[in-house]
Amino acid sequence: MKEYEKKYQLEEILTQEEVEAKISELAEILDKEYKDQNPIIIGILNGAVYFLTSLTQKMKIDLEIDLMGLSSYRNSSVSSGKVQITKDISRDIEGRPVIIIEDIIDTGRTLQYLTNYFANQKAKSVETITLLEKDVEKVTSKRADRALFKVPDVFIVGYGLDYANKYRNLPGIFEIKNV
């Protein structure tokens, strides 16, 4: 067990190697799917930055990246229920294929909000991809088009995901036990 796992009572669910391998597969799929289309790949801040970085570095086709800030969780492990835009994308997406990159889908509220938001902006297409999806039966207003991994309904940190703004830089995916 690594030092930080002991210190924070973390249990590794997915190793960095497992995550990177899945992202490589996804990169290959998207390279084929979006060949000659120059997609705009939009990462949702802050959780999706590692996923966005890793994915786009593995892709070989022409693409553009952008970032959008949204928050629904505020310094706790409990959802506040409200979604807010904290930073908007910085380009016109009309007529362009858009790929939205999320860290995790829990209730699906954030994704529902995003889907509505982009539907109004006349993108050519909108595909939603999440690194993690909580394996829950609870009210999921919206599922992602693709989810790389299913995780149990526990609080997850690492690979971009935080608890009270900490642990984003942990290399793998962990369950945090002491919340």
Active site residue: 62, 66, 103, 106, which one? 106
Count CA atoms within 13 Å of residue 84 on its CB side: 8
Q: In the complex with Mg ion, which residue's Cβ is closer, 2 or 87?
A: 87
Q: Tell me how far apart the alpha carbons of residues 51 and 102 are, in angstroms, rounded to a whole number.
A: 8
Q: How many residues bind ligand IMP (CB under 6 A)?
A: 17
Q: Tell me how far apart the alpha carbons of residues 167 and 118 are, in angstroms, rounded to a whole number.
A: 30
Residue from 10, 14, 26, 47 in contact with Mg ion (CB under 5 A):
47
Residues 66-85 that bind ligand IMP (CB under 6 A): 72-73, 79
Q: Within the chain, what is the greatest distance between any pair of CA atoms?
A: 49
Active site residue 106: yes
Q: Does 108 bind ligand IMP (CB under 6 A)?
A: yes
Q: In the complex with Mg ion, which residue's Cβ is closer, 22 or 168?
A: 168
Choose among 140, 151, 149: nearest CA to 175.
151
Residues annotated as catalytic (active site), given as ranges: 106
Residues that bind Mg ion (CB under 5 A): 47
